[in-house]
Structure 1
């Protein structure tokens, strides 16, 4: 005897005829006051080269496109990308890049001579890797305004000694000035997320305050240190030559979470200058 067939559960909640897909981390912003506040903070100007990541149901895009007159968007969900031309008809020139922002080559649409401004309600499940991907293109970007999980923004903005300070803080602040703008409650979305959100602005430094000669090694040093953030720096970075660490001029008895961006650059340079 065959077992009774179970009813198939929907993939997510239907919003404006579209089923929100959990695998894409879709939570659609609908609060008009929040949308107006985001656009006011972004302060778009006609003629600027603006890219929106994840336009979704176009709640923000509907306000943004007329303000800039020409807008590029990156959308992973093919169903949503197909809806955009009709939804935004007559509001301005819309250029749709269908694909994954994590894999998008921003050199296709920007250069140091024609930099872009970036805005978006980022899916929380890919926000950190996406920020790292964008940081690798920071010389092409004027600024970035994002909706993120508030916990992530706390980490982006944290300073040495803060409990939220970590690898994301150091590597972001190496390239950018982070500015928390305002919080956004769950009820501003449909379906509402289970966490508080916030808006952040990341402005790439015109000139790096603490330029590093080997940014790949810097990232390795920072990542290694914060895998053992509760240990002393001497122990956390134990795989590196002790004499090189001592020559960096930092307190090796301190914990990784107390060191500044400049301290990590100093350690990286000390390792580079260590005789082989």
Structure 2
């Protein structure tokens, strides 16, 4: 088979380490009759072994040449193929067709990983779980706690929607071509319907507040959010106005969000 030349425009780094691949399959633990969607099957490092365990796998791949390669494999008959951008794929239509929650996984191209995860959060009610290989920096931002350098808007929005588990550290040498960064394989599982650790009336308001706060990361809240919340209001909400954005918990950001909504302040900003 003709060798595939990785395309920089699609940020292609293919997983080649058999031990890492085996561990990832064990973590995903695919079952018959589940709706599994792989983002970017690439050279089929995960696709092939997963097809040995299930009868149908849905794949979303933007690179047509990679889809053509897949046709040469015996497991191709188990694939439902979408030649599409994962950032515009209609996951809701798939959910309606299958009538069950979707499991999404993949070795994500670094250039779309954050955008894709945020896009999938908008469909969180139809997702059972997500298992992704991510650039280490992105994974650390997702799971970061208040007070750490990695904690920011992405941490807050991600943890609002999901419980996250770091599963595996992956070295650059496990890929071809070898990337400049380390990777982490991570699980994101939406909270059970009877358990939501955080609440806001409108996540768009939470997103707006966190974006505003972290645009001026080094400024204290009294300054970064001063146009919306007076020092008196912050104190009333039990939030220290002299703290920086990275020192405020998700619960506290939800308090700010709900205050804006309950007092009809958000209409001036959203």
The structure number with the bigger radius of gyration is 1
**Compared with structure 1, are the counterparts of its residues 136 and 56 closer, same or farther at alpha carbon in structure 2 (3 Å cutoff)?**
same
In the alignment, is the contact (CA less than 8 A) between 1:245 and 1:270 conserved in 2?
no
Taking the aligned partners of 1:180 and 1:130, their CA distance within structure 2 comes to: 18
Superposition pairs of residues 65-84 of structure 1, within 5 angstroms:
65-84=51-70
The yes-or-no answer on 1:240 pairing with 2:220 is: no
Contact 1:247 1:270 in 2 (8 A): no
Normalised to the residue count of structure 2, the TM-score between the two structures is 0.92
What count of residue pairs does the alignment treat as equivalent? 261
- Offset of residue 254 of structure 1: 1.1
Counterpart of 2:167 in structure 1 is 181
How far did 1:81 drift? 1.6
1:233, CA displacement in angstroms?
Answer: 1.1
Q: From 45, 66, 82, give the equivalent of 2:31.
A: 45
Task: Return the offset for 1:55.
Answer: 0.2
C-alpha contact (below 8 Å) 2:70/2:76 kept by paired residues = no
The 1:83/1:275 distance shift into structure 2, 3 A limit, reads closer
Provide the residue aligned with 2:268 in structure 1: none
Deviations 1:122-170 (A, max 9, x none): 0011111111001111111111110011111111111111111011100
Could you tell me whether the CA contact under 8 Å between 2:48 and 2:75 is conserved in 1? no
Aligned partner of residue 182 in structure 1, secondary structure:
strand
Change beyond 3 A, Cα 1:16–1:224: farther
Deviation at 1:260, TM superposition (A): 1.3
- Report whether the alignment pairs 1:228 with 2:183: no
| 1:114 maps to 2:100 | yes
- Whether the aligned pair in 2 keeps the contact of 1:117 and 1:141 (CA below 8 Å) is yes
Shift of 1:91: 6.3
Tell me which of 51, 63, 72 is aligned to 1:86: 72
2:246 aligns to what SS in structure 1?
helix
Structure 1 CA distance for aligned equivalents of residues 206 and 42 of structure 2 = 36
**Gap regions ≥5 residues in structure 1:** 1-14
User: What aligned pairs does 1:126-145 form with structure 2 within 5 A after superposition?
Assistant: 126-145=112-131
2: CA distance, partners of 1:231 / 1:66? 53
Choose from 233, 237, 256 the match for 2:245: 256
Structure 2 CA distance for partners of 1:267 and 1:256, relative to 1, 3 Å? same
TM-score, normalised on structure 1?
0.90
Please, which moves more after superposition, 206-215 or 154-163? 206-215
Paired with 1:187 and 1:51, the residues of 2 have a C-alpha distance of 26
- Using a 3 Å threshold, how does the CA distance of structure 1 residues 113 and 258 change in structure 2: closer, same or farther? farther
CA change 1:63–1:85 in 2 (3 A) is same
| Counterpart residue number, 2:192 | 206
**CA contact under 8 A between 1:57 and 1:80: conserved in structure 2?**
yes
Deviation at 1:252, TM superposition (A): 1.5
1:61 aligns with 2:47: yes
Please state how far the C-alpha of 1:244 moved relative to its aligned partner: 4.5
Q: What is the CA–CA distance in structure 1 between the aligned matches of 2:221 and 2:214, rounded to whole Å?
A: 9
Query: 1:86-105 CA distances to partner (integer Å, 9 max, x unpaired)?
Result: 22x24652101111101112
1:148-193 Cα offsets, whole Å, 9 max, x none, are: 1111111111111111101110000000011111111111111110
Gaps of 5+ in 2: 266-270
